[in-house]
A and B are shown apart, each in its own frame.
Chain A
Amino acid sequence: MLIWSFVFIIFLVMMFSEFSAYYDNPEMGEILDLIPEGFLEAFGMAGANLTTINGFLSVMVLYVHLMVGVYGILLGSNIIGKEERDKTAEFLMIKPVTREKIIITKIVSAIISSLLMIFVIGMTLFAALQPYHPTMDNYRFIGIILGGNLFVMWIYLFAGLLIASVLKRFKKIGGISIAAVLITYLLSVIATLSDSVEFLKYVSPFSYFEGHQLYQDMGYEPGALLFTSLVILIASTGIFLVYPRRDLRL
């Protein structure tokens, strides 16, 4: 947890060090002014204007999603898998606590960690933005991004929990988690390539809260929220069905 937040902070600070090269660069600003708004819109580039704070943030969103996605799935699969890996499962299960209670506590603690992580990211963004005199509008956008991050993290968190509950052998959990993140990330990138494969967007959580779309609507797509809650709901039902009946490998 500590290491991860540290990495996140370094990472965001580094990105912002590059931002200074773009911010308010008059040369680029002039050229941008010359081009009619509608024209940019037609090519879907309106959101990616790197000279404004919001535009820059919207480009970064995918990468932050990727980081929190990896973090989420590892958090989820680890919190269950580690009991058997570290051979503490035996000890835990003989305690006078029901399995349901164990899993609820585990989920709650995972959710708290994810909220903390979002808090760290938010504070870092906030601090990194200070030199650029952010406005209310920027803060609102940061809030929206963080919300998106949180949802992405939760999707992967619950996916990780589900993977770890369903699989019998803890050694396989890691491999499947890696595959899940990589495949969904790949799909989200392919989806942006061409309109003919746009349906892939619905398969990959990374595309649910795209930076560009967040920037334009200043809010979430209802479909994305629906999918998120659906995924979390299905996954948690699965966890509660499987985990209490699970055989332990000791």
Chain B
Amino acid sequence: MNKRRDGKMTVFLFELKTYRWSLLWWAVGIIALQFIMMIFYPSMAQDAETIDLIIKHYPEELLRAFGMSEQASLATVFGYYTFIFTFAQLLLSIQSAYYGFNFLSTEESNYTADFLYTKPLNRSRIIVEKQFAILCILVITAMVTALSGLSAIELFRDGRPYEAGNYWVLMGTIPVFQVFFFSIGMVVSACTKKLKSVIGFALGVAFFFYIINGMRGIIGGDLLGYLTPYYHFEVAYILEEGMIPWNRGMISIFVILLCHGMTYFYYPRKNLPTV
């Protein structure tokens, strides 16, 4: 016991322990989501194939007017998986944003900040350790997402082909996507006095970007797209081309760096609220 206390990573280990149940529930949610949605795939694919035949005869402008041009066919494995994965992303974004908003404000709302900051650790150090813990949790979630998605596809694809390489490229973007939402939450939790409704903020941020992306899908327009990480790492594009649209992806990375810079600058100088 004593030996572990002497070790340097106390905060890190403590945080990992705190988040394990939360991690479990999110993982269960994401696995369930992907499997349940994939169950519908075989029957859907048959319907979709006939619809595709009809749609082929429509002129492009008409489809655009009905907001259908960007919808990939639900008949192909990836077409349908794009649809599922957007939901998985929504879950991931809520999880990440929630961790982010909780990140530093939880110490204040639970009145543990006074305790934590009397420890012989400087604040940047605390942030780094806490961040690594969250990063571990997020990466584990990403891996769970990738593996469960893959097994769900394998189980229900009915022999329809798909490009495994592209799938892994897509999965590689998950951590960046997660960290984007986490960073936004973190910077807010570092800079505000007392954050009360953490869940409210997390849901608000996650759904905001999700809805913007949904609208972009229907009505088009790059301007909306640049605002939302869903478009920075556009699922349909990655699955089709097998590469990441870096010119858009950079926006996400820039936002992440900006949020981190602000947190590291501001938080060590912050006054703690008194109880």
Question: Are A60 and B196 interface neighbours, CB within 8 A?
Answer: no
Question: Are A59 and B74 interface neighbours, CB within 8 A?
Answer: no
Question: Are A70 and B204 interface neighbours, CB within 8 A?
Answer: yes
B-contact 0/1 string along A1-44, CB 8 Å cutoff: 00110010001001101110110010110011001000000010
8 Å CB interface, B91-118 against A: 91, 94, 109
Q: Answer yes or no: A241 CB below 8 A from chain B CBs.
A: no
Question: Are A4 and B196 interface neighbours, CB within 8 A?
Answer: no
CA distance A226 to B200 in the complex (A): 29
Question: Are A28 and B215 interface neighbours, CB within 8 A?
Answer: no
Q: Of the candidates A7, A28, A56, which one forms a contact with B64 in the assembled complex, judged by CB atoms under 8 Å apart?
A: A28
Question: Are A21 and B199 interface neighbours, CB within 8 A?
Answer: no
Complex interface: stretch among A46-54, A94-102, A109-117, A146-154 = A46-54
A-B contact count (CB 8 A): 104
Residues of B within 8 A of A181 (CB): 203
Residues of A within 8 A of B198 (CB): 174
Q: With both chains docked as a complex, state the minimum distance between the C-beta of B160 and any C-beta of chain A, in angstroms.
A: 17
Q: Answer yes or no: B221 CB below 8 A from chain A CBs.
A: yes
Question: Are A22 and B219 interface neighbours, CB within 8 A?
Answer: yes
Residues of A within 8 A of B143 (CB): none
Q: With both chains docked as a complex, state the minimum distance between the C-beta of A45 and any C-beta of chain B, in angstroms.
A: 5
Complex interface: stretch among A121-129, A132-140, A191-199, A215-223 = A191-199
Question: Are B65 and A14 interface neighbours, CB within 8 A?
Answer: no
Q: Of the candidates A19, A74, A85, A194, which one forms a contact with B219 in the assembled complex, judged by CB atoms under 8 Å apart?
A: A19
Binding site secondary structure of chain B: helix
Question: Are A31 and B62 interface neighbours, CB within 8 A?
Answer: yes
Residue of A at shortest CB range from B200?
A: A74
CA distance A51 to B65 in the complex (A): 7
Q: Taking beta carbons and an 8 Å cutoff, which residues of A are in contact with B?
A: 3-4, 7, 11, 14-15, 17-19, 21-22, 25, 27-28, 31-32, 35, 43, 45, 48-51, 56, 59-60, 63, 66-67, 70, 74, 78, 82, 85-86, 174-175, 177-179, 181-182, 186, 189-190, 193-194, 196-197
Complex interface: stretch among B37-45, B128-136, B163-171, B263-271 = B37-45
Question: Are B196 and A182 interface neighbours, CB within 8 A?
Answer: no
A-contact 0/1 string along B176-220, CB 8 Å cutoff: 000000000000000000001111100110011001101100111
Residue of A at shortest CB range from B54?
A: A43
3 A-B pairs closest in CB distance? A174-B199, A28-B65, A18-B221
Q: With both chains docked as a complex, state the minimum distance between the C-beta of B26 and any C-beta of chain A, in angstroms.
A: 10
Residue of B at shortest CB range from A30?
A: B61
CA distance A197 to B29 in the complex (A): 21
CA distance A85 to B196 in the complex (A): 9
Question: Are A49 and B65 interface neighbours, CB within 8 A?
Answer: yes
